[in-house]
Amino acid sequence: MRILLINPTTRNYSKGITIAAAAPLGLLSLASVLREAGHKVMIYDHNVENDGFKECKKFDPEMVGITSFTGPMILDALRMSGYYHDQGIPIVWGGIHPSLLPIQTIKNSKIDMVVVGEGEETIVDLANSIENHRNLENVKGLIWKETKDDGIKIRENAPRKFIEDLDSLPFPAWELIDVRKYKNTLMGWENNASEIFSIQTSRGCPFRCGFCYNTIFNNRKWRSKSADRVIEEISFLKEKFKIDKINFRDDNFVVNNKRVMDICRNIYKNKLDITFAIDCRVDLLTRNMARLLKIAGCNQIYFGIESGSPRILNFIKKDITLQQAMDAVNLCKKVKIKSSTSFILGLPTEKQTDLLLTRKFIYKLMPDNLLVKIFVPYPGTFLYDYVIKNGLFNPPLKLEDWGLDWMNFEFKLSDTNPKVLKNIMKNLYIKHFILKFPKFAFNLIKTSLTKFYLHKLLLNGLRNLSASK
């Protein structure tokens, strides 16, 4: 069976906003299990392809799978769904948003089926059932439309259990994409626009942050690939695609301390010679871990701190302290790993005093890189339920209305006006850049001088070589 998997664009065309494209890891994993089951698969990523639809037509799919996050991605997903649905091709949606709001998603006339949660086992079961004309009622993890004499009925099948052994999954089908098209700026200024490829080594997170979808999507359950399997994937990418910069795009990379240490030791032992970035909670980074991460090639750690107000941290169930955040960033400075920190403005119940505490803490913390966002109530989170319950937010009633311009989200969910929050965010970035500029300028000059002298040294060497002849 020919199956087309589509990654809709995250670009917001009306505002000219483009998010740096990262490899569609979920679709790559689905493609690998489908091919293992004997199906032909093509991946179309609209984030990096603008004219690839010609190839999609040649492929002539018999089923189309589409993934989507909450936001403008939904609008592009619906456009593509409509194109293929009008041709009578079965359309199945999956991913975070459809999994969190499956009934609302399936009600859209352009969608036939929704895969809820992890998709590898469900998509293979579904493809085999469609190909062999079997009833879909036994496909676990599926919500679908059944056409009867009295109309269309929505059927909700039994849920599917999590995949416990992630090592049992085949390697993602990386060869179905052009890895050179996936760039990221995660690793800081001097590596800006260098090719950094993302891989995923675990799924889920056991913690309970009130703004995160993981509490529902993965039920606070963390599962991981073994250290040996991770090394195999890195070695494969390095050998086949010459990848030497990696972003571990896990929900929480460091849940298991021993696994992290084993991965680092094996990267060093096998002389993989890579640089990489990870996501880490501030309360999980230890001195020994930081040192080993540095030796293995880690050059950036991303910390989600979210607020400088202890009261807000407690309210959003972050379960960290400001001292832990300070210790983690200082530890990065000590071992010379770049720190990237994120903060959220406009959280529910946030007052001016909380905002002031956050601003002061950012200036005190002085991370290498700063990410500031304005709170958005995503489905499947504690804070989403809170803002609805307290009359602060009326969620969209139709799938297409979730294609909101989140970059210009202007619902007042805290004591501060959204326009004021945007100005605060802009000023935080400006001040952070000014405070970090001397170091940035020094590194830029240092890098430029190094390149200049190396170039001069090479020319002199060539001249001397010519003269000796």
Residues 330, 419 within the same domain: yes
The pLDDT of residue 185 is 47
The pLDDT of residue 449 is 54
Provide the CATH number for the domain around residue 27.
3.40.50.280
Residue with tokens 């056409």: 147
Range 144-180 burial, b when 16+ CB lie within 10 A, else e: bbeeeeeeeeebebeebeeeeebeebeebbbebbeee
pLDDT tens-digit map of 175-221: 999 888 886 545 443 444 456 789 999 999 999 999 999 999 999 99
In the β-sheet with 197-199, what is the strand arrangement from edge to edge? 197-199, 245-248, 275-279, 298-306, 338-345, 369-374
- ∠229-1-133 over CA atoms, to 5°? 115
The pLDDT of residue 411 is 81
Whether 340 is in a domain gets the answer yes
Range 67-92 burial, b when 16+ CB lie within 10 A, else e: bbbbbbbbbbbbebbeebbeeebbbb
Distance CA 53, CA 8 (A): 12
DSSP state of 179: G
Residues 247, 136 within the same domain: no
How far is CA 64 from each of CA 42, 60, 133, 296, 307, rounded to the nearest angstrom? 10, 10, 17, 41, 41
Whether 458 is in a domain gets the answer no
Burial (CB count within 10 angstroms: exposed 0-12, middle 13-18, buried 19+), residue 365:
buried
Whether 310 is in a domain gets the answer yes
Whether 454 is in a domain gets the answer no
Residues 86, 192 within the same domain: no
Residues 133, 197 within the same domain: no
Range 227-244 burial, b when 16+ CB lie within 10 A, else e: bebbbebbeebbeeeebb
Regions of the chain short of the pLDDT cut 50: 13-18, 185, 187-193
Q: Token digits for 238? A: 């390095």
The pLDDT of residue 452 is 55
Q: Which domain holds residue 127?
A: 2-156
Whether 460 is in a domain gets the answer no
Distance CA 409, CA 334 (A): 38
The pLDDT of residue 193 is 43
Residues 111, 206 within the same domain: no
Total domain count for the chain? 2
Residues 198, 259 within the same domain: yes
Whether 468 is in a domain gets the answer no
